[in-house]
């Protein structure tokens, strides 16, 4: 479900709301009570719930598709550099 951001054009109050795509936009400001909420344009935000392609596909073994801690990613980065992978200068992107 997407997380939408709203701002009241009267009092400036900002809020986020977890809504279905099919839900109508919010209009009433919880701060001032006026029907002056406006949906803001922002980066996409959504919550993945349950199982699905993002959790079960495109992974190896029992590893989950989640971000690793910085200490693990630093080690992986060092290995790539040593092996001539991305970040070593051999790939042309760094």
Q: What single string gives the DSSP state of each residue in 5-49?
A: EEEETTT--EEEEE--TTSPPP-S-TTT--S-EEEPP----B---
Residue 18 lies in a domain: yes
| Number of domains forming the structure of the chain | 1
Residue 89 lies in a domain: no
Domain that holds residue 22: 3-39
Residue 80 lies in a domain: no
Tell me what the pLDDT averaged over the chain comes to.
Answer: 73
Residue 75 lies in a domain: no
Residue 70 lies in a domain: no
- pLDDT (tens digit, 9 = 90+) per residue, 3-44? 899 999 999 999 999 999 899 999 999 999 999 999 998 776
Measure the CA angle with vertex 26, ends 22 and 28; round to 5°.
160
Asked whether the CA dihedral 50, 54, 57, 63 is positive or negative, the reply is negative
Residue 24 lies in a domain: yes
Residue 88 lies in a domain: no
In the chain, pLDDT over 70 holds for what percent of residues? 46
């Amino acid at each position: 479900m997407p997380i939408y951001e709203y701002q009241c054009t009267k009092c400036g109050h900002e809020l986020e709301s977890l809504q279905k795509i099919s839900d109508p936009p919010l209009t009433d400001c919880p701060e001032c009570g006026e029907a002056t909420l406006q949906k803001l344009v922002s980066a996409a935000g959504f919550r993945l719930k349950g199982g699905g392609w993002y959790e079960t596909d495109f992974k190896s073994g029992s590893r989950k598709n989640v971000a690793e801690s910085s200490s693990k990613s630093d080690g992986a980065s060092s290995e790539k550099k040593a092996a001539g992978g991305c970040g070593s200068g051999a790939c042309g992107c760094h």
